[in-house]
Structure 1
């Protein structure tokens, strides 16, 4: 069951909005690899658009290498990871999807943040930044709580964009290319409101990840704090020789 998708001609060509939504579903295992996506008729009904619009969206994803069309056999997902010119690494969620899990993202809150407590980070992000709070579910169970603080260059993102698309994809589409990531890890109890979202007992020690994402000029574009309920699944780091 999908959450409602908010597409509008005011936000640009409909087929591109549908492409982005479908790509996000592929990346998070809603449309599993080696399985067919819904039929064109089903997609027409879901998005309330014409067959031509659906076909154009699918063709975009075929050209990007996510889908393969075969006459009489439907359209199959052949890739479920982002192609990046900047990194050969994989995101943790990509590994989970490859293992057969489904990741569902829920946006809990978006607002302009003016009083970021970490003063050094506040200096780098600007006098105000965009705050996004998200919950990731692993096969329906609360798994990761994220708090994202984004550069004030991104504070004009529309709410619907945040709901419907990959966050890092949106950053890239704004002409900001993330080339360096620094992760710091700790084990600590989460704030009470995070514990409630994750459904864990008060004072439970959780894996805490703090990420700093920089562009090719060395500017901090995103700072995030994630709390992982590793009772659901361990955090995995793979190293290639």
Structure 2
């Protein structure tokens, strides 16, 4: 079997190709589908609520005034307000108007990067965000050429593959596809992921060799048809794409996870020490 390049070089090359594809999809999506006016108006009002222009308990301007502010029709304005009500930002009170009832994006999950493994693990497992996890399948899979090269798998062998869906308040927020070497299926079973069991904790517990590093690669992307259906979003909607490489003490990549996360349900933050 030929000697493969290091995982960092392969990932960089693959991400370059994927980024080019993402940009092409984004351009096609921009030409084919624009964000509806009612969504633009609703998002703008929501941003004003979050910024404190419209406080909780106070009324937003009357619909007739907002129609003039945004230069939209009465029908568009009604759809915008209906969307804000559906998402729990405002409510209608008789004799008062449309009242703000929420001012924070409580359903947005921070992807916290502070350099501490515990912080990362709490996010990765969903333990601190009241996130539910469902294992959709564990099966053999051919996998992509990219993943096979990372795991150094021959063309004759199948990969172990697990697909998971994470939800919050009954709504899908992220889709995870993990790949491992063929012998992984003898070590990993569905029961290992009951509740909020995390992939890294399972690897640390079951694999004979110690995992010393996780490499994370993050990219802005757009949802294709399959991902859109899985996450209950529209084709072309923005998502976070992450690739996690789990590296053992021999500097071998023993597992790969691809994460597809709704951009409207996650926020990426990091802490950088200057000294």
TM-score (normalizing by structure 1): 0.55
Q: Tell me, what secondary structure is at the counterpart of 2:204?
A: helix
Aligned partner of 2:191 among 160, 184, 208: 160
Aligned partner of 2:226 among 174, 185, 193: 193
Q: Within 1, Cα distance between the matches of 2:262 and 2:236?
A: 13
Instruction: Give the 5 Å matches for 1:1-241.
Output: 88-92=116-120, 94-95=122-123, 101-118=129-146, 119-124=148-153, 127-156=157-186, 157-163=188-194, 165-174=197-206, 175-239=208-272
List gaps (5 residues or longer) in structure 2: 1-114
Post-superposition offset of 1:99: 10
Report runs of 4+ in structure 1 exceeding 6 Å deviation: 96-99
Post-superposition offset of 1:92: 4.2
Residues 92, 237 of structure 1: 8 Å contact kept? no
Summarize the Cα distance change of 1:124–1:179 in structure 2 as closer, same or farther, 3 Å threshold. farther
Q: What corresponds to 1:4 in structure 2? A: none
Post-superposition offset of 1:208: 0.7
Post-superposition offset of 1:96: 8.8
Q: Tell me, what secondary structure is at the counterpart of 1:101?
A: coil
Q: Tell me, what secondary structure is at the counterpart of 1:90?
A: helix
List gaps (5 residues or longer) in structure 1: 1-86
Q: Within 1, Cα distance between the matches of 2:184 and 2:132?
A: 23
Residues 140, 160 of structure 2: 8 Å contact kept? yes
Q: Within 1, Cα distance between the matches of 2:191 and 2:264?
A: 32
- CA deviation vs aligned residue, 1:80-115 (integer Å, no higher than 9, x gap): xxxxxxx84235462599996301111112111234
Residues 245, 253 of structure 2: 8 Å contact kept? yes
Residues 125, 220 of structure 1: 8 Å contact kept? no
Q: What corresponds to 1:79 in structure 2? A: none
Summarize the Cα distance change of 1:149–1:125 in structure 2 as closer, same or farther, 3 Å threshold. farther
Q: Within 1, Cα distance between the matches of 2:129 and 2:190?
A: 27
Post-superposition offset of 1:224: 1.3
Residues 106, 136 of structure 1: 8 Å contact kept? yes
Q: What corresponds to 2:77 in structure 1? A: none
Summarize the Cα distance change of 1:161–1:89 in structure 2 as closer, same or farther, 3 Å threshold. closer
Post-superposition offset of 1:116: 3.1
Post-superposition offset of 1:221: 1.2
CA RMSD across the alignment = 3.0
Q: How many residues align?
A: 155
